[in-house]
Amino acid sequence: MTGKELVLKAVFEKAFSLMDSAIAEKLAHDETYLTDERDSIELEQKYESLSLSSPHRMIIEDFHACNCSRFYRMIELAYQAGAETALSIIEKQVAPCAT
């Protein structure tokens, strides 16, 4: 690995670590997220208490899982796009220094 690649790798790893910490900190203090989290627990308890047939319950659970999967994938791609953009900016700044 070249010096430039090692520097970029270290910067990239540190950036992801900082982003993960920043996200966790924001979630811990975001009232909208915290309210949704509490509501989610309450709604899950209500759902579990419903008298649904197994096929109906499976349709609802599959629908919910599909929506969650789609949403989480969107978040992953947005996170990746942001990281790639940041890395590209950093790479342009580091490149002149590493040669």
Q: Where are the domains of the chain?
A: 3-98
The CA–CA distances, whole Å, from 83 to 15, 20, 72 equal 8, 11, 16
The letter for the amino acid at 54 is S
- Residue-level pLDDT at 8: 65
- Residue-level pLDDT at 17: 76
Determine the Cα–Cα distance for residues 72 and 30; give it in Å rounded to an integer. Answer: 19
Q: What is the pLDDT of residues 20-79, one digit of tens each?
A: 788 888 889 999 999 999 999 999 999 999 999 999 999 999 999 999 999 999 988 988
- Residue-level pLDDT at 97: 63
- Residue-level pLDDT at 2: 72
Q: Give backbone dihedrals phi and psi of 2, rounded to 5 degrees, phi first.
A: -75, 165
Contacting residues for 34 by C-beta, under 8 A, at least 6 apart = none
